[in-house]
Amino acid sequence: MQVRKAVTRSVLIFGGAGFIGSNWAHHLLKTSAARVHVFDNLSRPGVQHNLEWLQKNVPGKNRLQITIGDIRNPQAVRKAVHSATEIYHFAAQVAVTTSVEDPQLDFDVNLCGTLNILEAARQTGRYPFLLFTSTNKVYGNFRQGPLTGPASRFNCSVQDCVCESQPLDFHSPYGCSKGAADQYVRDYARIFDLPTVVFRMSCIAGPRQFGTEDQGWVAHFLYSALQDRVLTIYGDGRQVRDVLYVDDLLTALDRVGSSSQQTAGQVYNVGGGLDNSVSLLELINEIETLTARKIRYDVKPVRPGDQPVYVSNYAKLQQHTGWAPTLKVREMLIRMEEWWIQNQQLFLTPMPARRLPMSQVAEVPGMAV
Active site amino acids: 174
User: What's the angle, vertex CA 135, arms to CA 141 and CA 5, rounded to 5?
Assistant: 150
**Dist. CA 368–CA 23, nearest whole Å:** 19
Pair 72, 109: CB distance under 8 Å: yes
20 Cβ contact list (under 8 Å, min separation 6): 90, 133, 204, 246, 249
Pair 140, 212: CB distance under 8 Å: no
Pair 273, 242: CB distance under 8 Å: yes
Neighbour tally for 212: CB within 10 Å: 17
**Dist. CA 81–CA 122, nearest whole Å:** 10
Q: What's phi and psi for 307, nearest 5 deg?
A: -80, 130
Pair 222, 336: CB distance under 8 Å: yes
Q: Letter for the amino acid at 162?
A: V
